[in-house]
Amino acid sequence: MIFRCRPARRLRGVLGASLLAVIIVPPTTTAAQAPIEPPPEVDPARFVVNRSLGCSLVMPEDGRAVVAGGDDVQLIRLVQKDANPPAWEILVRPMRMPEDSGMFGASASPSPAEMMAFFLEGAREANDLLTVDATDDETVVAELPSATASASFKHESGRTARFDWTFIKTGPNRFVFVQCLGDRDRWPEATFRGTIDSLQVLTEPELAIQSMTVVERGSAIVGRFDEPALRRVLDLFEDIVFYRLHAFDQDGKEIEFGYAGISAIETDAAGVGRPDPSPRDRGGDLGLMIRVRLRILPQSDNGPYRDVDHQAWISWDRNAERWMIQETDRMRGTDASRTSSILGIRPRPTAEEPRRWLQIISQGRETFERYDLKVDIPQELDLYLSEAERLVLPTLLEITDAAGGEFSTWAWNDDREAITRRLENWLPAPGAGTLESRTSADARPATHILGADAIVSRRDVPIDGRSNSMRWSRIDSTELRRLYERKGIPFE
């Protein structure tokens, strides 16, 4: 909810530098959902899906996978696990023919053979030691028209690297590109052939239909977030709801990260940032403020405490919002502190300025550096989640009796510093609904489990893109204090 994950991605070829950068470009559209299911006889742990790419495959038994999805990078990368260097690599990515390719007779809808020819031209220019050994202009992969090529070059280590390339046409100018890379003299044919034969690929129209479907579902759901629904949230969070933030290390030892309190109040936009956010003028533009206050414990003996105050306000008619996140680091036993803040402002549209936009202002007090950004948001508010609504989305889904299934919305994404598409999967159940929230189709989900009172009882948030998560467990403040006293942790 608050914590930012910016995992670094560094992809490296098995036997040398990649030849792909010459022509691979990200697609202009992103799928939010792909109905690709594992065959019943396949171990689910080996079934790899990239829903942004619209592609799935069965991973070799001795493989491990990296999946990236979103608007910028979409790929599946498989390498041999427990081997350094790995003996093989498989890379799956989208590809398009650049409009300025300069190919004689090139059309707006290049064939797999034309795409392959352009790729090979760029590959030869990038590596003059590369030898193209074989090509096939007309093949079929995943029941779609394709072309294949095989090439090799002698690596400085003395080994000869072999590349097998497959170009699968999925749209007028969209291809799924598959690269198999290994040692030519120890070529793992069965590994590569089995993976390619297992491919399931959605076409560009199928991706568009899936995307449209989840957007329409999202619009129908968010369209029911009206003043009565927001006031029900206000009633539920009239008293502070406390959470214990904890996780488990690789040895199963429990780690205390801190605690959080969530509350709601009726106030005006100016209440954001005030010590007392109660409305000064009852006749003003009132709305709902969700306030999340966190205390993050030091993770080392000399580490600082971090206090986070997240205030998010939305007007009752949803036409204006304002939010602020303020983070303050404090050293135990001293008055020293360091504070930074980020402020979001979405003003009410006017006749002079009818468009909707969100202004983001970020500033640190010590450096006096200021960051100011203004981004457009969807004109139709039923496609957009305000920051306040995002913080209590599971509760809103429950109290509006939202239909189950996947849906998509737009919301501010702090990691991307942009308004981006989110994918939500709502699984309603009597007294225990579950929401899986993703910042993109292939991101690890944050899981929210509701209690019988429509308030989240447990939340699991991915940490730094790794397999483990931070858990938010609902707890009574008295019980939390006793727990900290037993562990020797100061509770303030």
Residue 6: pLDDT band with limits 50, 70, 90: very low
pLDDT digits (tens, 9 = 90+) for 161-206: 999 999 999 999 999 999 999 999 999 999 999 999 999 999 998 8
CA distances 240 to 91, 276, 349, Å, are 49, 15, 33
d(CA 30, CA 193): 28
**What is the mean pLDDT of the segment spanning 288-304?**
89
pLDDT digits (tens, 9 = 90+) for 348-357: 999 888 999 9
Residue with tokens 């992969």: 141
pLDDT of 214 strictly over 50: yes
pLDDT digits (tens, 9 = 90+) for 238-261: 999 999 999 987 777 888 999 999
Q: What is the structure's pLDDT at 107?
A: 60
d(CA 478, CA 129): 71
d(CA 397, CA 424): 11
**CB–CB of 426/444 below 8 Å?**
no
Sequence spans of domains, the chain: 20-202, 213-487
Which tops the pLDDT comparison, 423 or 100?
423
CATH of domain 20-202: 3.40.1000.10
pTM higher than the cut 0.75 = no
pLDDT of 456 strictly over 80: yes
Query: CB under 8 Å to 65, separation ≥6 — which residues?
Result: 48, 59, 76, 77, 78
Question: E strands, 118-206, where?
Answer: 131-141, 144-154, 160-171, 174-183, 200-201
Burial class (CB in 10 A: 0-12, 13-18, 19+), 100: exposed
Residue 367: pLDDT band with limits 50, 70, 90: low
